[in-house]
Chains A and B, each alone.
Chain A
Amino acid sequence: MRYIDLNINADTPQAIQSLSSMGGALGYSGLAAKGQSYHEAPVQIELFSRADLTAKRLAGLKKEVSRTRKRHLVLATPLGGVDTTNWAAEEGTIDLLTLPLTGNGRLRTSTARLAAGSNTALEIVIHPLLITKGLERSRVLKTMTDAIKIAVQGEMKVVLTSGALQPIHMRSPYAMIHIGMLLGLERLESIESISQTPHEIIERNIKRLDDNYILPGLEVVGDRR
């Protein structure tokens, strides 16, 4: 089974190399990295480019999507206002809606249903669970479990990612499965959240970024004249 972590943070080729080395040792077959330097590092496992969209207003988000879609394999944006989030969920170009732990962003049932129709997944970054304790961690757990419950009820896919800044922040696939179960996913759903769902996102976008791709179900198969 192929396990993929769709969120690691690496600013330098050395960081990419150490993270990919740890990822390979833990059993991952692919990582999606933010940052520009992933092309330059010699790595042991497959690396995919990821971009996080930060625009807060709908017009800005649309501009960012048109600018970045063809250059990155994975696009993510945090859950935010109703307009931007519902557009991101329904449109299908953005792959991940990331659950923020601060601010106004939360997953609504309507957003989950829209996202289910366009194969946009809810991203849960587990890093905050590692760095918080006591009351703060219980609040983090509540936010995550509530969002996952709404996603599952709306048949929206869920993706678990590490958000690792250093290799020691990564967790093995088996560990991530248990964390998913802790957050309310069934065992099978938890396994899918780190294997099948990220794999589908990658495969879909590899095809989408192909020059011969036009629309879902429409592509050039012969000579272009």
Chain B
Amino acid sequence: MKANRKRYISFRLHQDGPPISPRQLSNAIWKSMLSLFGEVTTAEARFFLNEFDEENGLGYLQCNADLLHQVVSSAVLLESIEKTKVSFEPRKTSGTIKALLKD
């Protein structure tokens, strides 16, 4: 069995304010995870923002399968990024990108 299993999560970021860049979103989720769960969990989460469309707010990210809950919780508790109010809506979880992006 693989040592580090990944999970991919597709999401929509609802925004109220100036558009958010992928870097801003990624940094915000990192900081949220750091605040909620600490440095060790954040490091083990292996979070990476694969894709994020600034216009429609759709994207997907990857993380350690064992810490999926921590990553999602950190993201959904984001209230604002810079001056933009946000609501992170997780949509689908999958073990592969192919299955995630199907449909």
Interface residues of A (CB under 8 A from B): 22, 26, 129-131, 133-134, 137, 166-172, 174-175, 178-179, 181-182
The total of interchain contacts (Cβ-Cβ below 8 angstroms) comes to: 50
Q: Which residues of A contact B90 (CB under 8 A)?
A: 172, 174-175, 178
Interface size class of B (residues with CB under 8 A): 10 to 19
Q: Once the chains are docked, how many angstroms separate the CA of A166 from the CA of B17? A: 13
Assess whether B16 is in contact with A175, with CB atoms less than 8 Å apart.
no
Interface of A is mostly: helix
Query: CB < 8 Å: which of B77, B85, B91 contacts A129?
Result: B77
Beyond the given pairs A168-B15, A174-B91, 11 more chain A to chain B contacts, judged by CB atoms under 8 angstroms and listed by A's residue number, are: A26-B89, A137-B35, A167-B14, A168-B14, A172-B76, A174-B89, A175-B72, A175-B89, A175-B90, A179-B76, A182-B73
Interface of B is mostly: strand
Q: Pick from A22, A129, A182 the residue with the most CB of B within 10 Å.
A: A182
Shortest C-beta distance, A40 to chain B (Å), equals: 24
Q: Once the chains are docked, how many angstroms separate the CA of A166 from the CA of B89? A: 16
Shortest C-beta distance, B65 to chain A (Å), equals: 15
Q: Once the chains are docked, how many angstroms separate the CA of A178 from the CA of B11? A: 14
- What does the 1/0 interface line of B71-103 toward A look like (CB < 8 Å)? 011001101000001111111000000000000
Q: Once the chains are docked, how many angstroms separate the CA of A129 from the CA of B76? A: 10
Assess whether B87 is in contact with A168, with CB atoms less than 8 Å apart.
yes
Tell me whether A178 and B76 are in contact in the complex, defined as CB-CB below 8 angstroms, given that A134-B35, A168-B14 are known contacts.
Answer: yes
- What does the 1/0 interface line of B7-25 toward A look like (CB < 8 Å)? 0000000111000000000
Q: Which residue of A lies closest to B32 (CB)?
A: A133
Assess whether A168 is in contact with B77, with CB atoms less than 8 Å apart.
no
Q: Once the chains are docked, how many angstroms separate the CA of A124 from the CA of B69? A: 20
